[in-house]
Structure 1
Amino acid sequence: MLATLQDILDTVKAENLTYQQKLMTLGNIAERLFDPRDLLGYSDEEWQYLQNQMICDLNEGYAVYRPRYILPDYSVYVKNGCRFLDLPVPKTLDEVLDGLLIIYSHVPSITTFPVYIGRLDSLLEPFICDEAQDYIKIKRFLNHIDKTVPDSFCHANIGPYETRAGRLILQAVIELENTTPNMTIRYDKNKTSREFAELAAKACLLVSKPSFANDAYYRADLGEEYGVASCYNALPECGGAYTLTRLRLGTIARACSSVTEMVEQLLPKVAKLALSTMDKRHQFIVEQSNFFKTSFLEQEGFIKRTNFTGMFAIVGLADATNHLLRQEGLDETFGQSARGEEIATAIMQKLKSVNDSHIGVYAERTDNHYLLHAQVGASIDAEDKLNTPAHRVKVGQEPTLLAHLKQSAPYHQYFPSGTGDLFVFDQTYVDHLDAVVDIIDGAFALNYRYITTYLKNTDLIRVTGYLVKKSEVERFRQGEAVLRDTTWFGAGTDDCAQVFDRQLRDQGNVNAG
């Protein structure tokens, strides 16, 4: 959407934004003051489909001056220090923690904050000497991140191997109960000890992190050097993603009267237009913004331009399918309909075909193609209330746990840059961590890429791919300024998709699995 001078004034006068949040918002408004038809060369038809909300660029802006997601290889600092920041090679845990905090403050993203802070356990493990004292330092380090990077799109990775640093990180995460950083364990039951997996599962239940990524699956698609950033976005490490553009499938489907019209006509047309806008944005970032020419991250090897790609995303698969089921006279819903699965699969197969045939711009690392992504949703436009996150079943229409796992698993194959499902359990599961890990192993055996859970009665919950505190969301809804910008997004996503009310998975459901 184009911005206006009134948007600037409204932001300046806002009572529910902090100074830092106003600064970030004003920067985004400035990027959107330019008409992309003039600046980026968008065609009138491309702009038309952005205006009618079938294509959504997530308000990234048009005068784009940095990639959306940056995943530095922080081991470069551990090995070489950082010349630009006058940081020598760290020799102690204090030095590596201090240096990482300094570097994080210089890593940009679409949120202005770092969305990836590295494989923390691997980075810290060589410096662990006294676990009792080092735990205090790691806990203080993580708390510092929560208070200075108030954005739970900030994401840390651990695993797949158990380490002393990994255990200390999980213990600190449980004790702190902070929303930031978000966290993923790269899990492989052939590499990850059962004890470490159960400790991660305990943390996931109690504080909604870490989520579990199917490490073998992601390595097969992206190679060993990948990271999980932001919500659950798997991208090349030492690189990242220039941009993320999504299709609102529910919006597209409602303009169609049949599956054939959707799959064979309108969907491929809109998808091709969206991919073309991505090409133009990437060209501007690389050729005109001079980001890679001026960033010390590129100059010192923390990132490489050739490791970046684009993310082509979807929301609203459930809504598109439900509409098309009604067009066929069927009173059924996605997630509990055999015909619905046929329709949804046809949509995804067509989208994959269009994406596979498109030669992307500056996407060498991913064979000159963009990566499909299951986007978690937003509250940018009224249409977002009509588009459920990703390929998830609408809240209130979920099948039982085993049926849900089997229903969802086939869609994970389409999304190498990230997808995931969430399951809410009750307090009793804290005493049955073995059962939780068994569920995760079962999901990965079905070719799940990513799975997460949390307890129904906790304040800290996972909204979609990121975390919020329900108490903080309530304060924001009352008009108060709150620390974390993700609180706005959490409130909006709950308004759109009722994510605070997901079905509780009871013991009977698990036993059935």
Structure 2
Amino acid sequence: MSLESLQQQAMSLIQNPSLTPQQKQLALYQTLEAALPACSYSPAVAEAVEQGLLHEMFESAAPFKPRYLLPDYQKALQLGSEYLELAAPSNLDEAIQFLLVLYQSVPSVTTYPVFVGHIDQLLEPFVSDQLTDQQLDDKIRRFWQAIDRTLPDSFVHANLGPADSRIGRSVLRVDAQLAQSVPNLTFRYQEGVTPADLLSQLSDNIVACNKPHIANHQMISRDFDGDYGQVSCYNSLPIGGGAHTMMRLNLRQSFFQCDGSIDDYLANTVPHCTSLMVEAMSHRIDFLVERSGFYQGNFLATEGLISLDRFSAMFGIYGLAELVNQLLEAKGSHSRYGHDEEAMVLAEQIVAAYQQQLRQHRVKHCQGERLMFHSQSGISSDSEETAGTRIPIGEEPDAVSYIRRCARLHRYFDAGISDIFVVEPTIANNPSALTRLIRGGLQLGLRCFTANVSNNDLVRITGYLVKRSDIDKLRQGAERHQSTVLGAEAVDVAKILDRRARIISHETVPLEQWR
């Protein structure tokens, strides 16, 4: 980009009435970052990026901070921070203030923190027995509002569970009342640990505000040496570390790397595309770790809140539905992804092949010298590819059939996967049906359960949420949430509001018969 073009683009941002001053400042920084010379990839990788086979997720050509960062907030609360000149807190008010200050120094790809911690575990030790539920809710309400007002980005993510707690119950009460898009929320559910009445409360919250996600804690925790967090949309990453970077492979585009046959795709295209992705990601990781200086000079590292050996990177895929349909059409089959067993068997073969190939590669500066496998939930400008491994928008079967067909894929993705189950507002009259759907889905192997009640103001875009009312505000002028513009684009381009809302018609089927 020439200096003149860069200046013209900057001026157009400055004069854009749909941006707040803070958003203009961020957009100006991102414009300069995007103007950096392209990564010095090998010719083969550079061509794959140019063709759209590999997608860089709009990361800088010279990354100077990890994409996703999960500090050990509990350690910070215990020891205090010399850099921030904050002593370890001794009561709930001090703990909340400590976290709000610390959040301002936690970077990510969005500039805002993608993870604000296991809120119940962090704050429960500070709750006094003398504090009434109403007093506790008042404190949590102010905390929740402060997060939304100071970190106005829907990729900011909080966790709860799996155990019961006063803080967790308070967060759920407040979150349903405020119905904010920020922070996003995941409850880490575990059968036998999470009480039944708390699961019912989670279902009620989903009906009220489409939050939280329900993570399969028993399943996910097996993939991690130590604790993990659910961040950004629904990405699973190690506490005290995170992900250096994420790139994604366009599976629809990868079809054109084979001769059209399933055998050639599995035998040749899978290893070829995997090698290209690993090479590209290694290039980015090496720059971040060895040249940017982030892991040497940042106080999060020097105070032990993050450690390089707790980081990996995310190998993402999307457009599985399109690839499966392309391969089946090439062999003369009319089977469709998400609807026919032939298609689902092929889908699992493809996913398993990529996982197996990925395990054969060793990558420097990554935990265990390996990349993590991720079903990437799409971006707002995707128009030809379905997010991750989901069923295309408008083609979704009923929720039970959807779960039966796609849960088999969830076990392959240690860095996260999600399907969005859209249900009609009539679920409010029968919330126990949603509870049964959650339990049944997790028992069938869902790594994460995510639902949208179709008439809520809060609508789930990929994994993050945006208010319909905020999108309307944006169309009239500036709106303070950084992610609203992405939500508006997803409505216009990806047609996310066209997801089929279904009545949960099989809620009376015993769970053991779902299989």
Normalised by the length of structure 1, the TM-score is: 0.94
- 2:505 alignment partner, SS class: helix
- 2:143 alignment partner, SS class: helix
Whole-angstrom CA distance in 2 between matches of 1:48 and 1:219: 38
Maintained 8 Å contact 2:377/2:418: no
Query: Can you list the C-alpha shifts for 1:304-330, whole angstroms capped at 9, x where unaligned?
Result: 111010000011101111222222223
Q: 1:316 aligns with which of 314, 319, 322?
A: 319
Q: 2:424 aligns with which of 423, 426, 437?
A: 426
Give the Å deviation of 1:457. 0.9
Query: Can you list the C-alpha shifts for 1:54-97, whole angstroms capped at 9, x where unaligned?
Result: 10011101111100000011111221111111111111111111
Whole-angstrom CA distance in 1 between matches of 2:122 and 2:496: 34
Please show how residues 198-217 of structure 1 align to structure 2 within 5 Å.
Answer: 198-217=200-219
Whole-angstrom CA distance in 2 between matches of 1:195 and 1:464: 29
Aligned to 1:23: 25
Please show how residues 265-276 of structure 1 align to structure 2 within 5 Å.
Answer: 265-276=268-279
Maintained 8 Å contact 2:316/2:374: yes
Aligned to 2:501: 504
- 1:222 alignment partner, SS class: coil
Note if 1:490 corresponds to 2:487: yes
Whole-angstrom CA distance in 2 between matches of 1:245 and 1:103: 28
Maintained 8 Å contact 1:24/1:111: no
Whole-angstrom CA distance in 2 between matches of 1:334 and 1:496: 22
Note if 1:258 corresponds to 2:261: yes
Aligned to 1:369: 370
Moved more, 478-487 or 109-118: 478-487
Letter matched to residue 211 of structure 2: K
Give the Å deviation of 1:430. 3.1
Aligned to 1:403: 401
Give the Å deviation of 1:414. 1.3
Please show how residues 6-17 of structure 1 align to structure 2 within 5 Å.
Answer: 6-17=8-19
Aligned to 1:343: 346
Give the Å deviation of 1:115. 0.3
- 1:385 alignment partner, SS class: coil
Maintained 8 Å contact 1:239/1:303: yes
Aligned to 1:481: 478
Moved more, 263-272 or 231-240: 263-272
Maintained 8 Å contact 2:436/2:507: no
Maintained 8 Å contact 1:156/1:181: yes
Maintained 8 Å contact 2:77/2:98: no
Aligned to 1:237: 239
Letter matched to residue 327 of structure 1: A
Whole-angstrom CA distance in 2 between matches of 1:54 and 1:401: 31
Aligned to 2:125: 126
Maintained 8 Å contact 2:427/2:503: no
Letter matched to residue 341 of structure 2: A
Letter matched to residue 51 of structure 1: E
Give the Å deviation of 1:51. 0.7
Q: Using a 3 Å threshold, how does the CA distance of structure 1 residues 200 and 276 change in structure 2: closer, same or farther?
A: same
Q: Where does the alignment leave 5 or more consecutive residues of structure 2 unmatched?
A: none
Aligned to 2:144: 142
- 2:222 alignment partner, SS class: helix
Whole-angstrom CA distance in 2 between matches of 1:133 and 1:399: 45
- 1:42 alignment partner, SS class: coil
Normalised by the length of structure 2, the TM-score is: 0.94
Q: Using a 3 Å threshold, how does the CA distance of structure 1 residues 258 and 22 change in structure 2: closer, same or farther?
A: farther
Letter matched to residue 414 of structure 1: Y
Letter matched to residue 199 of structure 1: Q
Whole-angstrom CA distance in 2 between matches of 1:441 and 1:223: 26
Query: Can you list the C-alpha shifts for 1:2-39, whole angstroms capped at 9, x where unaligned?
Result: 996254344333332222222222222323323344xx
Moved more, 492-501 or 127-136: 492-501
Q: Using a 3 Å threshold, how does the CA distance of structure 1 residues 472 and 304 change in structure 2: closer, same or farther?
A: same
Identity of aligned residues (%): 34
Give the Å deviation of 1:438. 1.8
- 1:504 alignment partner, SS class: coil
Aligned to 1:94: 93
Aligned to 1:457: 455
Whole-angstrom CA distance in 1 between matches of 2:296 and 2:427: 51
Whole-angstrom CA distance in 1 between matches of 2:429 and 2:102: 39
Whole-angstrom CA distance in 2 between matches of 1:75 and 1:343: 44
Aligned to 1:82: 81
Aligned to 2:467: 469
Letter matched to residue 365 of structure 2: Y
Whole-angstrom CA distance in 2 between matches of 1:452 and 1:341: 21
Count residues with an aligned counterpart: 504
Aligned to 1:48: 47
Maintained 8 Å contact 2:398/2:503: no
Letter matched to residue 368 of structure 1: E
Q: Where does the alignment leave 5 or more consecutive residues of structure 1 unmatched?
A: none
Give the Å deviation of 1:283. 0.8
Q: Using a 3 Å threshold, how does the CA distance of structure 1 residues 82 and 447 change in structure 2: closer, same or farther?
A: same
Moved more, 422-431 or 288-297: 422-431
Aligned to 2:443: 445
Alpha-carbon RMSD:
1.9
Maintained 8 Å contact 1:333/1:397: no
